Structure 1
Amino acid sequence: MQTLNISSLEQTDKFRDLQLTLRDRWKTTEIFDNSDADILVIPSLSIDQRELKKIEGCEHYEERLLFSLIRLQNPRTRLIYITSMPMHPSVIDYYLQLLPGIPFSHARNRLLLLSTYDSSQKPLTQKILERPRLLKRIHQALRLDKSFMVCYNSTELEAELSLKLGVPLYAAAPDLQIWGTKSGSRQIFIESEVPLPDGSERVWNDIDLAEAAADLWERQPTLKRMVVKLNEGISGEGNALLDLRPVKNLAPPDGSHAERVEAMKERFQNMRFQAKQENWENFSGRIGELGAIVEAFVEGEIKRSPSVQGRITPSGEVEILSTHDQILGGPDGQIYLGCRFPADETYRLQLQQMGLKVGRNLAKKGAVERFGVDFIAVDKGDGQWDIQAIEINLRKGGTTHPFMTMKLMTNGRYELSTGLFYSQQGRPKYYMATDNLHKERYQGLLPNDLMDIIAHHRLHFDTGTETGTVFHLMGCLSQFGKLGLTSIGDSPQQAEEIYNKVVKVLDEETSSSNKDFSSESEYNFPITWDGCSC
C-alpha cells in the first residue's frame, strides 16, 4: 500500500489546511464539545514499541480512551472506536450503561466498533493504514463535514491517516512533537521563564553524555544525584538515576574535568534504571536513536510531583483543565502510578499560572489540543514550596482519562479561581485514580467476573450521588492482574475511602478461600449457548 510522506512540504501544507477547518467550527469550547459531530477515536500508542513494551499489559492500553464513549451522552454525537483486537462486549456495555438519561440502545446505535484483528507489535494506526478496505469502511461511515479525529499521541502515522480519510486531526501536528520531548520541554520552560532543574541539551552518544554530566557537576558541585533521560519515554520508564556519592572525591574543586568525565562513564554502568530488566547496554543503545539529556535530581525530604493539564483550542486559546498530585513509584519514585485531583491548595493556583505560560508558548508554535506539565515540588517550610518544571506531555496521558471521566459523568465545570471542579449541582468533586492497581492475585479474573464483583458490592459509580468508581483497563486484568480505576467523592477523604474499599473488596474476592469453585458461590454465572457467556 502506498504511503504518504507527511514530512514533505506539500503534504504538511495539506495536513495544516485540513486541520484549520476545525477553527471554523470552533466558536467556543461549549459548542465544540456539544456539537453534532462524528468522532473518530484512534487510541494508537504510536511511540517506540520497545519503550512501550517496558509497560506490563501495554497491549491493552488502547482501552485508555474508552472514556470517550461517555461523549455519547450527547444524543447527536456518533463515535467510531478502533482497536487492534476486539474488546470484550462486557467492557463496552459497562461504559454505555454509565450514560445518564440516555437509553442504552440509543447510545449503542451511535457507536461503531472496528478492529484490525492484528495483535502484532506495531502501532494501531499503522495497522489501519495497511488495510485499504478498513479505511474505505471508516470513510463511508463518517459525515466528513462534521468529523474530527482524536488520538493518544500524534505522529506522521496519524497525520497520514487524517489525510487519507479527509478528517481533521485534533492534536498537535507531528512536526511540533519535539516540544513534548525531554529536550524540547526544557527549551519551552526556558523561553516561558518557568523554573526548571539545571541540565543539558540533547546528546546523541554516551561520550557526549558523560561530558554533559561532568559539566553539570561542575556547575553544581554539591549535587548528590542526576537523572539521565532518554529524550522520548513514557511514565518515567526511560529514566535512570546516576548516583555521584560513590565518587564524591572528584567533586569540584577536586579532580580534573577529564577525571570526572571518566568517572561518569564508569558510573553509567551502575545507574538505577526505572524500567524492569533494563541495563546500560540496552539503554545506551537507544541514545543514538532517541537522544538523551542529563538533569539535576531534585532532592528534598518532603517532595511531591504535581502536574497541570491544559487544552489549546484551534483558535489558539489556552484553557487550564486540571491539576493533580501524581502518585509515583518504582525504584526511585519516578514511575507514574496514579494521581489525586486536585493538587494541593497551597500550590495549585501557582501550577495553573505556570501551565498558562507554557500553553501560550505552545499555542504560538501552533500546537493544539492536550498538553500537560509535570513538576517537582519541595517543601521549604511555612507553607512555601519550591516548584520546578520537569517535562511536557504533548499528548493524552495518565491524568487525561480520570479527569475526562469525572467531567463527562457529572457534566460539571472546572473553576480557575479556586482550582476546583464542581458538578452541575454545585458540589466540589475529588478523585483518586490509577492505571496500575496491579496484584498477581487478580490474575485470572475475566471482565464478567469483575462485573459480578462490582454489582454485588455496589462499587459502581452512582449517578444520583455522583460518587463511586469508574473502571478502565479491564482487558489487562485476566493475564496481568492489572486494573485502572477512578474513585470520585465529595471530599479527598471520601475519594480515598472509595478507592480503598475497591482494593479491599478485590483482595477479599481473590483470596485463596474464594478460589475454590467446588464450594457454593454467592454469584450465579448464567451461560448462553451462542458462543459467549453473559
Structure 2
Amino acid sequence: MSDKLKYEDKLGAVLVQVQDDLRQLKCSLEKVTVNEGDETLDIQPLDNAIRKTESSIRKHAEDYLKAVTEQVLVLPCIEDLPKKTVQIPKWKPSLERFPDVRPQKEDLPGSLPGEKHQSQLAMRLLCNPAHPNNRDILYQKCGISLPDIHKRSTNAVSNLTMTVAQLSPSVCDFMSGIDLKSRCVKQLKLETEPRSTCEKTGSKCTPLLTTTTPPPTRISKSIDHGSMMQGTSVLIPKSPENLLVPVPVIIRKYPFTITKGRINPVAADFCHFKQSFSLCWSSVVYALEALEKLLRDFAVPVAKVSGERLVEFAHGWDNGWRKAPPVFSLLSMLENWEEVLGLVLRPGQRYKGDGGNEAAAIHIQSCWRRYVARTAYLRHCRRKWAAGTIAISWLMHAQMRRVRKALQARRVRQLENFRSRAQHLAANWKHIQSSKRTIIHIPSLGYSQSQRLKLRGFDILQNIQISRLFDIRDENVEVIYICPRHLGEDMLHYYTSLLKCDGATDGDDTVTTEASSWVRRFIILTPEAVDYFPTRNMCLSTLLKYSPRTLKRIKNLIQGKQAYIVGGVAHADDLAVADELGLPVLGPEPAIAQHYSTKSGGRRIFTGAEVDVPPGRGDIYSLNQLHETLAELMSQNFNVQRWLFKIDSEHSGRGIAYCDICHLNCYNWALQKYHYYGPELWNTEWNQESVMVKYLDEIPEWLERYAQPAKTSCYPNWACFLKTFLRQGGVVEAYPPSDSVTCLTVDLLLEPGGEVTMLSCGDQLHGSCQLETIGSTVPQTSVHPETLHSICMRVGQACLQRLIVGYVSVDLVTFLNHNSMEQKVWAIDLDLTYSDQLAMTQMLLMMTGGTLNCRAGCLEVPMPIREKCCEHQSAPPVVHRYAVIGSHLFHSHLSMLYHNVFFMICKALGIGFNIKRKQGTVFALYDNHDRCSIGMITVSEDLQGALVTFAQNLSVIHQEISSSKIQGETNFKDLIKDIEDVLQMTVQNKQRAVKDKPAA
C-alpha cells in the first residue's frame, strides 16, 4: 500500500513538472525576438500548439483525478490517518488489487504488440467483472486481481469498471502526447488492498472504509458527488440487521495565508493545498502569482486565501501571456477581502509596496508628461480655434463690410432719388393738385424698435388713420390705402356705405352718380408680409418693403398716372418703398424728420419761429446737467408750480413726468428773497446764486421722493423714467401757471411749393392722464383764430426753412396770465406726421360735406336744397356745426360684440347720423378681430350739444355692454369726466360773456 501512495506522488510530480516546463517555455517565447532583414519570426503557431497541449494535459489530469477519486481503497492503520471516520455496516467485502490498466484508444509510442494486446484484453474483461472466468483470465493475462463482490454490490463494480474504461483513453492520449510511457505505466499500476479497521462502539465493531480523494475541480464536482453517493449506497448492505449510523458533514477547505505578499512554501496549510491540487497546479500557479504580485504591490500584511475559490478562478480564467486578471476577481479569492479591498482602495497605498518608489516616480512622470502634453494640446487647440475664429471673423467682417457698403450705396442712391423726386414734386405741385392724381397712404409708425415692442396693439394703432380713405371727396383724387391688417367683409361694407352716403344727396335721398362713383376710387391693400411677421411689431413701410406682390400690384395700379406717397412717422424704409415704386414722398427726409420731431428739436423750431415756448431747456443727457438746469429755471421762474420732464423720442404723452415745487423745503425761503429784491433786481446773477446753491442741495432728494411719471403703465416709477430720460435725452419745461389750461392741436400742410395751409384745429380732450390726448373738439374755440393763424404761419415757415414739407401737427397750450390778465399761448410740441385728428377730420368733412375754415374758426356745412325752394335759391344755405372727435376710445367689452350687433344696439338706442340735418354720430372701425378700439364723431349745432351727445353715447354704450360688477377696462369714464369739466368751463365762459356785454 505504501508503494501505491509513492507511485501516486510520482505521477502528480510528473504532471506538475510537465506543466511547469510548458509554462517556462511559454515565458521564454515572449523574450524571443528574431529579425532577419525585413522578416520577423512568427511564433504564433508555436504559441497555439503550446496552448493546445497545455489544455489537453489539464483535461487528462482532471480525468485522472476523477478516476482516482472514485476508486474504493482501504487504507492501513497508520499514525497520520485522519481521525474523522464514516461508520458503515459490519459487512466487509473482500477487495482485490487492481493492477496496471492501459488505455485502449490508441497505441502508445514505442509500445510492444504484446502490451497493446494486453491492454485491450484488460479493458474487454473489465466490462464484465462479475463473471468468474473473466476474473481468472484477467488475473492470469494482465495481472489484475478483481475482488469477489457479492451480487448486491455488482452495480458498484460496474461503475468502477466504466470509470477505468473512461480513464484509459485519456491517459493514453496524455502518454502518447508527451512520450512518458515508462513513468506513467508505473503510476497506473494501482493496487487495492482491502483492509478493515474496527471502531469499538460498545460491543460492536464497525468496519471503516476510507478513500484517498484529491479535491474535485469545478467541472467534475457534480459528477464526482453523484458517483460517490451511488457507490456508497451500493456498498452498504440493506440488511435490517445493519443499523445506519449518521455521517457527519465533512467540509473540505484548503485555506492558507499569504504574509506580506509572499507564500511560505514550507507552511503546512500551503503544502496541503499544493499536494491536493498538484494535478492542476499549472493553471493555479498563474492566478497565485498574480495574487502575490497584487498583495506585494499594495503592501497587504496578511491575506487569507480560500483554496477552493483560487482553483475555481484558475480554471475559469483564460490566462493569456499579457492578460492580467481583474483586481476584484483576485480579491474575491480572499476570505478577508473587505479588509484587503480597503487597503487597495486607500490613496497612496500602491507606493508602500514593492516597487513603490518606481511606481510613484512613474506616476509623477506620467502625470507631468500628461500635463505637458495636455497643455501643449490645449494650446494647439486654442491657437487652432483662434485661427479659425479669426479667419471666420475676418470673412464675416469682409462680408459685412461689403454688405454695409452695398447698403450704404443703396441708401445714398435712394436718398438722391428721393431728393430729385422731391424737387420734381415741388416744381409741379400746383399742376399736380389741380389734375387727377393718386395718393398712396401708408400710415406707418416708424418708431424705434424698442418703442414698437412696448406698444400694445401696434397694428391697430397704425390702422387708426383708416379715415384717410375720405380724401376721395376731392373728385380728382384716387386713394390706395395700405392697411396693416386684413379687413373683414363687414368693415369693407361699412366704409363702402359711408362713402356712398357722403351728404351729397338731393331732397329725395337718392344717391347721385358722383357719389356712387366714389366707391371705385379707393383700394385697400394689405402687404403679404403681415402674415409672416405677426408678432414683430414692424412698421408698415418695412412690411411693404418685404411684400413684392403688393408692390407689383401698386405699380400696375399707378402705371401712367400722377401719384405720390403720404407716409406716417418717417422711417428709412420709406425711401426703399418710394425708390421701388419710383414715386415722390410728401414729407421730409427720415434723418431730418427724426432730428426735429423730438421734444428738443421742436423747441429749436419754435425758438427759430419766434413763438412763445414754456420756460425750459432741451438736450439734457446727464444727471448733473438736469439738476443744474432745473435749479437755474426754478430760480428764474417763481410763478411756475409744476415742472415737466419729457423724453425726446416718446410720443402721445407716454414719456412725461412731473414734480410739484410745493414739496421743496427751501421754496418759501427762496420766494421771500425774491420778493425782497423785487423782479427787476432779481434778474442779476449774484442775487440768484444763493438760491441756486440751496436748490442744488435739495433737488436730488426732491426728485427722488416726489417726481412721478404721468403714465405709470409705461414707466412705473421715477427711477425707470430717469434711466430712459438720460439715455435718450429730454427736455425740462414749465407747466402753465394756471388752474384753467386748454391744449389744442393744429394740423398744417407744408406744401412743396412753399405755402402753409391749416387743415384742422381742435381743442384736446384728455383721459385719466391730463397729458395724453384721446380726442378733440372741432373747430377750436380757445384761441382767437387770427392769433392762431399767425403762430401757425410762423411755425410753418420755420419748418420750410429746414426742408420740412408735408403734414405737420403743432400742439399749443393756452391759459390766462393772472399778473397781466392776458391770454398766453405756448408752443409745446411738434409732430412731423399725419395726425389722427386730421384723419378723423377728413371723415367729418366727408360725412357733413362741409369745409373747415381754420382762419375763421368755423365748420361750414351746406344744407340740402328743398324742391320748393329751388327756383328762388341759387346756392344751398350754409350752417355752422361743431363736432367732437374721439379717435382713441377703448373698452374691453366691445370685443364680445360683432360690428353688426353693435350697430343694432346703437340703432335701438337712437345713436346714428342724420344725413338731412348733417348731425348725429358716426363711428370709425379699426379692427374686426379684437374690436376693442373704435373712433366716434358727434356733430351738433353748437359745441355744448356735441359734447353732451358724445358723453351720453359713451355712457349708454358702457351701460349696455357692462354690468355693475364687471366694468371692464375702458377710458370711457375718464373721458366723460373731462367732458363734464369742459362743459362747466363753457357755461362759465357764456355767463362771463353775458355779464361783460352790458358793460361794453
Seen in structure 2, the aligned counterparts of structure 1 residues 192 and 241 have a Cα distance that, compared at 3 Å, is: same
1:218 positional shift: 2.7
Structure 2 residue 423 is the aligned partner of structure 1 residue 20: yes
Q: State the 1:15 CA deviation.
A: 0.8
Partner of 1:357: 794
Which has a greater percent of helix? 2
Amino acid at match of 1:290: Q
Are residue 503 (structure 1) and residue 954 (structure 2) matched? yes
Asked if the contact 2:452–2:537 (Cα under 8 Å) also holds between the matched residues in 1, the reply is: no
The residue number in structure 2 matching 1:297 is: 735
What does the per-residue CA deviation read over 1:171-217, in whole Å, with 9 as the maximum and x for residues that have no partner? 23223322332111111221211111111121223332223222222
- Greater relative CO, 1 or 2 (CA 8 Å, sep 6+): 1
Identity %: 22
2:725 to 283, 287, 293: 287
How far off is 1:41 after superposition?
1.6
Among 271, 283, 295, the alignment partner of 2:707 is: 271
Q: Does 1:225 align with 2:663?
A: no
What pairs up with 1:423-438 in 2 under 5 angstroms?
423-425=861-863, 426-438=878-890
CA distance 1:327–1:210, shift in 2 (3 Å) = same
Alignment of 1:17-166 (within 5 A): 17-27=420-430, 32=433, 35-51=435-451, 56-73=456-473, 77-99=477-499, 100=502, 101=512, 107=519, 110-115=522-527, 116-117=530-531, 118-119=533-534, 120-143=536-559, 145-166=561-582
**Distance in 2 between residues matched to 1:163 and 1:229, nearest whole Å:** 35
Q: Could you tell me how far 1:281 is from its partner in structure 2?
A: 3.8
After superposition, residues 103-502 of structure 1 pair within 5 angstroms as 107=519, 110-115=522-527, 116-117=530-531, 118-119=533-534, 120-143=536-559, 145-177=561-593, 178-249=595-666, 252=670, 257=692, 260-261=695-696, 263-269=698-704, 270-277=706-713, 278=715, 279-331=717-769, 333-344=770-781, 347-380=784-817, 384-425=822-863, 426-457=878-909, 459-475=911-927, 478=930, 481-502=932-953
Residue type matched to 2:498 in 1? L
C-alpha deviation, 1:222, in angstroms: 4.6
Q: Is the 8 A contact 2:657 2:708 kept in 1?
A: yes
Report if the CA contact (8 A) 1:312-1:318 is conserved: yes
Letter in 2 for 1:461: F
Shift of 1:440: 4.2
Give the Cα separation in 1 of the matches to 2:519 and 2:438: 13
C-alpha distance after superposition, 1:249-271 (max 9, x if no partner): 16755966466345433344342
> 1:155/1:412 Cα in 2 relative to 1: closer, same or farther (>3 Å)?
same
1:395-447 Cα distance to aligned partner (Å, 9 max, x none) = 12232122222223334333355221212442222111112333444342333
Amino acid at match of 1:437: L
Q: Check conservation: 1:54, 1:275, Cα contact below 8 A.
A: no
How far apart are the structure 1 equivalents of 2:481 and 2:610? 40
Aligned counterparts of 1:388 and 1:345: Cα–Cα separation in 2: 13
Matches of 1:452 and 1:6 in 2, distance apart? 57
What secondary structure, in the 3-state scheme, does the structure 1 residue paired with 2:761 have? strand
| C-alpha distance 405-4 of structure 1, shift in aligned 2 (>3 A) | farther
Say whether the 8 Å CA contact 1:209–1:293 is kept in structure 2: no
- Amino acid of the structure 1 residue aligned with 2:612: P
TM-score w.r.t. the length of structure 1 is 0.85
> In structure 1, what is the equivalent of residue 295 of structure 2?
none
With over 3 angstroms needed to count, the CA separation of the structure-2 counterparts of 1:327 and 1:476, relative to structure 1, is farther
1:125–1:436 CA distance, 2 compared to 1 (3 A) = same
The letter for the 2-side match of 1:163 is D
**C-alpha distance in structure 1 between counterparts of 2:439 and 2:571, whole Å:** 19
Root-mean-square deviation (CA, aligned residues, Å) is 3.2
Corresponding residue SS for 1:475: coil
What is the deviation of 1:148? 1.2
Between 1:491-500 and 1:136-145, the stretch displaced more is 136-145
Q: Which residue of 2 aligns with 1:522?
A: none
For residues 496 and 416 of structure 1, the distance between their equivalents in structure 2, rounded to whole angstroms, comes to: 20
> 3-state DSSP class of the match of 2:620?
coil
Structure-2 separation of matches of 1:49 and 1:445: 33
Secondary structure of the equivalent of 2:664?
Answer: helix
1:280-317 Cα distance to aligned partner (Å, 9 max, x none): 34323333553211111212122211232221111010
Is the Cα contact below 8 Å between 1:207 and 1:265 reproduced in 2? no
Q: Distance in 2 between matches of 1:293 and 1:486?
A: 34
**Whole-angstrom CA distance in 1 between matches of 2:449 and 2:928:** 18
1: CA distance, partners of 2:582 / 2:702: 51
Q: Supply the distance in 1 between the matched residues of 2:584 and 2:409 (Cα, whole angstroms).
A: 14
Q: How many residues are matched? A: 510
Moved more, 338-347 or 504-513: 504-513
Looking at structure 2, the residues matched to 134 and 478 of structure 1 have their Cα atoms a distance apart, in angstroms, of 25
Deviation at 1:223, TM superposition (A): 3.5
Cα contact 1:303–1:376 (8 A) shared by 2:
yes
Distance 1:266 1:437, change over 3 A: same
Q: Which runs of 5+ in 1 are unaligned?
A: 516-534
Instruction: State the AA in 2 paired with 1:499.
Output: F
Q: 1:110 Cα deviation (Å)?
A: 4.2
Shift of 1:380: 4.0
Which structure has greater strand proportion? Answer: 1
